[in-house]
Amino acid sequence: MNYFVIYDGNCNLCVTLVQMLESLDGGKLFCYIPMQDEQKLSELKITPQDCELGVILIDVNTPEKRWQGTAAVEEIGRLLPTGNVFVEAYRALPGVKWAGDRIYEQVRDNRYALFGKRSSTYKSAYCPACET
């Protein structure tokens, strides 16, 4: 595992996407930490205000190397096998990145209204192995 993925463990969409990543990755590259894990976030120097800006990806070996929001989503995609092809195509199409950023912001800010809120926080099976 080389990266922490900080996600909203109460968001149905976020959890579904994490579960999809778990099945693709099997804990090889990513460790998943819900934004509700205040102790772990504190250890990583992540504030609740940081979490308001969306998913966060942290390089475990170089913790100051971080991506957030669409940049995190793109980097996760780039790290997956053959994912780089899709990310490069997405970035290359005129206006698509800009539109993707705006759509991400709208979904991020309205995720509970759009996709619902879980009654309990989802905790990944690939989280206990995380060490800082």
pTM here?
A: 0.90
Check if the beta carbon of residue 7 is closer than 8 Å to that of residue 106.
Answer: no
pLDDT digits (tens, 9 = 90+) for 22-71: 999 988 999 999 999 999 999 999 999 999 999 999 999 998 899 999 99
* HEC profile of the chain: CCEEEEECCCEHHHHHHHHHHHHHHCCCCEEEEECCCHHHHHHCCCCHHHHCCCCEEEECCCCCCEEECHHHHHHHHHHCCCHHHHHHHHHHCCCHHHHHHHHHHHHHHCHHHHHCECCCCCCCCCCCCCCC
pLDDT (tens digit per residue) in 75-111:
999 999 888 888 888 888 899 999 999 999 999 999 9
